[in-house]
Amino acid sequence: MKKYLLFIALLSFLAGASYGQELDINQWPPNTDFDADVHFWAADDFLMDAIPAGTGDLFDPALLILTGGDQGSEDVTIAGLPAKKSVANYFNVADELYFLLPDLPVIDVLVLYFANAESKRDNLGFLLGTLPGDKYLHTLTGYTFESVTDQYEWRLFRLDNSGAWAGNVYDDSEGTTTYGGVNGGTIRFQQTNGLIFRAVAFGPEGAFGEPEEINTAKEVEFNPDEYEIMAEWDINNGVINGLDVYRVTGGDQEIVESADIGPADDKRQAIRPAIDDGTDATQDIYVNWEILNEHFGPTSQPSARFKIVAEYYDDPALAGTIFGPEVYVTAGDSLQFFPEANRTTLEGSGQWREAMWYVTDVKLKGVNVPTQAAARFTFGGPVYISRLRLGIIRTAGIYENVDPIPDVYIFDPDPYGIYAELDLDKGVVDNLDVGNSGGDQEYIIEDNIGPAGDQRKALRPALGDGGDPFDRFVNFSILNEVFGPSNQPNAVLKVAVDYYDDPNLVDERFGPEVYQSNVFGTLQFKFFPSELRMTLEGSGEWKTAVWQIDDVNFTGVNQGPQAAVRFWFTDNGAIYISRVRYAVIRPVGVNAGVDMLAEYEPIVRVSAWELY
């Protein structure tokens, strides 16, 4: 009898916990405590109507979604429902009742997000508190979104607030602390570029149930390892590998196939949109490529990011003509239009060239194609294409995050430089200069730094000696686009810094910290490994530290017009720098492989086995 009662109790517990169940996205999670003090935001206020009658007296729609700068957000509609999309690295949420949060040692953050190919990540973070960071900020990292289901999913994050960081404004708090946090908000989500939210809620621990009850997204049954990651069509060489141009008579996507297209030394077979040369009166400005034999897998698989590479004739007679992806089916089975600004404009070089695009959240249903397709192309003129490669960037399996077409480099580096230098002591400003001095990256420049026989003019972080006690960063500005525009592929950058190895600063550290990188078409913050920063030994001499970063985008972090990587210093690390040199190592062009800092070996990580 006791065993029977125990079994019934266990069943009751499991039923109440709702483990593994698909949760209703139009209702609060089933174990929500409607007596708790909860602050929330919902794109269409559906959560207010979802509060059971006679309950939720302390449920308040007090959250606001901020936008602008590096915490941009925009209104979107996906799967037929309104939401907010993060279009920057930060998603800042302001709580009008922020002053209640310091009393919560743990804050549960509940979100309703769209689980698509863009959402999967393992580096989501949260920032609680105010500046200065060495006193009041608390960073939490390593939170994950694992599922790609092409539908809205609930997700619960549990945040440590034992230091009463969130919502606590002190007399010496700095920056815009309107709602008890940084940059005007309360809790800042970090590494959010591309995430889509329909709702956000803050509450005490357990207010919405437990994470294991809520973080149970339905898995899509699909094994990507059984399928390819790249398809190719090359009409000049007779290649049809999982992809073929879609041929149709009538309508607006007829094509013309021609021979001997291109310059004298590279004539090719190629196709173009028919424009006015079709079989009917419709102008043919579209071209479609169909995916054959479910090359990438069934249409039912989750949406994915695609990399598309086309070889086109850059016809001098068509200079200024624009072409590229136009429309595709996205998650939620709705049509999505590729931004016109991201299409390719012909320059009229008279050569065959490559164009590359990243198209996100693509479902393989295609537009006006009977089988499968990725994106339909649009043309502003009769541009010829001889080859198209289509690659899928997997979010799971053995090819997760593998570049399916790695040999593409859509940038001519030859008009640009490979070296820049700032030497404060010698007055050299060669396309590299000190950055903005202020906020958390204020610096001080002084003379007569170093040993008696080698004193120099040098810069150091202000630390506690500036207008802001939180000055542990220094940034440098790249001038005149010396290395080229910021939309070029990620660069391999070697950095050399001459620093004073001060005997009074033994064991203090400094080095590269945060930079931006283009990850399959999306700019993301990346952090240089902290273990590779320099530790002072106290020799009393000027020394050179060298690092290499293999995937830098020159958009910069909190510095313009361009920048590379921000430098970090320990709290007591008033370490002086007299000279900074940047060298870009090009993979192609007249300077391919040239290293202007070849005499220096970069600091590298040493594995334990290498010591034996």
- The CATH number linked to 266 is 2.60.120.260
Q: Name residue, tokens 């973070």.
A: 125
Residues 508 and 482 in one domain: yes
CA distance to 28, 107, 197, 216, per residue, from 153 (Å)? 12, 20, 10, 9
Residues 362 and 454 in one domain: no
Residues 262 and 380 in one domain: yes
Residues 364 and 492 in one domain: no
Q: What is the pLDDT of residue 381?
A: 97
Quick check: is 442 in a domain?
yes
Quick check: is 332 in a domain?
yes
Task: Return the closest-CA partner of residue 549 out of 492, 477, 604, 476.
Answer: 492
Q: Which of 182, 214, 246 is the last residue of a domain?
A: 214
pTM to 2 decimal places: 0.83
Instruction: Determine the 3-state secondary structure of 37 from DSSP.
Output: coil
Per-10-residue mean pLDDT of the chain, 612 residues long, equals 37 35 89 97 94 96 93 91 93 97 98 91 92 86 89 96 96 92 96 94 97 84 95 98 97 97 98 95 96 97 95 98 97 90 97 96 94 97 98 94 94 97 98 89 94 96 74 93 96 98 97 94 90 96 97 93 95 93 97 97 62 36
Quick check: is 38 in a domain?
yes
Residues 268 and 152 in one domain: no
Residues 337 and 478 in one domain: no
Q: Which residues contact 295 (CB under 8 A, 6 or more apart)?
A: 227, 228, 231, 242, 243, 372
Distance CA(384)–CA(364), nearest Å, equals 25
Residues 148 and 85 in one domain: yes
Q: What is the pLDDT of residue 2?
A: 36
Structure tokens at 205: 């621990």
The 289-291 sheet, strands edge to edge: 243-245, 289-291, 372-373
Q: What is the DSSP-derived secondary structure letter of residue 394? A: B
Q: Which of 181, 214, 247 is the last residue of a domain?
A: 214
Distance CA(11)–CA(572), nearest Å, equals 58
Distance CA(476)–CA(351), nearest Å, equals 38
Q: What is the pLDDT of residue 21?
A: 56
By CB atoms closer than 10 A (0-12, 13-18, 19+), residue 467 is exposed
Quick check: is 3 in a domain?
no
Q: Which of 196, 214, 232 is the last residue of a domain?
A: 214
Quick check: is 410 in a domain?
no
Quick check: is 6 in a domain?
no
Distance CA(498)–CA(496), nearest Å, equals 7
CA distance to 229, 252, 312, 360, 373, per residue, from 404 (Å)? 6, 31, 20, 15, 17
Quick check: is 363 in a domain?
yes
Residues 179 and 257 in one domain: no
Q: What is the pLDDT of residue 605?
A: 58
Quick check: is 299 in a domain?
yes
Kindly report the number of other CB atoms within 10 A of residue 406's CB atom. Answer: 10
Residues 149 and 248 in one domain: no
Residues 335 and 199 in one domain: no
Residues 59 and 201 in one domain: yes
CA distance to 127, 274, 475, per residue, from 442 (Å)? 22, 59, 9
Count of structural domains, the chain: 3
The residue segments making up the domain with residue 495 are 419-611
Please name the helix (run of DSSP H) or strand (run of DSSP E) that holds residue 535, with its range, or none: strand 534-535
Residues 60 and 202 in one domain: yes
Task: Return the closest-CA partner of residue 63 out of 74, 49, 48.
Answer: 48
